[in-house]
Amino acid sequence: MVELKQSGAAEGRRERKRRETRERIEQAAMTLFLERGFDATTIEDITEAADVSKRSFFDYFPSKEEVVFAWQDSFADRLMAAILARPKGEPRLKTVEEALIETIVASADERGLAVGELVRCTPALKARDQLKYAKLELKLTDALVLRAGDSKEARIRMRLLSAIVIGALRVGGELWQERSPGAPLEAFARSIFADLWTVLSEFGETAKDRL
């Protein structure tokens, strides 16, 4: 089941201070990574910039790699929120397409694009980058199940849909790197979804012929 985070009103002083410290470490680290490069930035550099001890750093992150992946995890949380915010009764495929495009466009600011480039150019980060898709698939499944009802049949169907959509997202990310300069992100994302639904429809017709 999905754990709901405490609202700001219910957040205690201790929890707030821990959240603020974690955010300060993350922001300091990401700024240094983008300025100096990931490999050239040490944990000592990060703790000095964030004004925390080395022990405090390890209270929140087991390694500097995890800082980057924690930043990526926020995309999954935003996607889940976007799914749950879609109108009730909306067709499921439209919900997935609109929520994912909304999250992608909102995340594609200058810093987000720079972090993506950092990951692609850093072997230590690129090797683990594929894990983000597995996390996205789980988050998307959980959000869709909350909308569809948590029956065994619904969860299986939503897992299949999530696997297909996140697979298309992976392919889209690779194709985005080969795009023509200046291509609009939203239009590109919608073209990927259009191709996805077309392919699924064609495969569906082929599957019927085999029954």
Sequence ranges of the domains in the chain? 13-62, 73-210
Query: What per-residue confidence (pLDDT) applies to 11?
Result: 66
- CA-to-CA distance for 41 and 37, rounded, in angstroms? 6
Q: Residue 8 has what pLDDT?
A: 44
pLDDT at 5: 46
Question: What was the pLDDT predicted at 84?
Answer: 92
CATH superfamily for 73-210 is Tetracycline Repressor, domain 2 (1.10.357.10)
Residue type, 6: Q
End-to-end Cα, the chain, rounded Å: 36
Q: Which of 139, 137, 191 is nearest to 161 (CA)?
A: 137
CATH superfamily of 13-62: Homeodomain-like (1.10.10.60)
In tens digits, the chain (211 residues) has pLDDT values of 444 444 444 568 888 899 899 999 999 999 999 999 999 999 999 999 999 999 999 999 999 999 988 877 788 889 999 999 999 889 999 999 999 999 998 887 777 778 888 888 898 888 777 788 888 999 999 999 998 887 888 899 999 999 999 999 989 888 887 877 777 889 999 999 999 999 998 888 776 666 5
Contacts of 146 (CB under 8 A, 6+ apart): 2, 84
Q: Give the per-residue pLDDT at 101.
A: 94
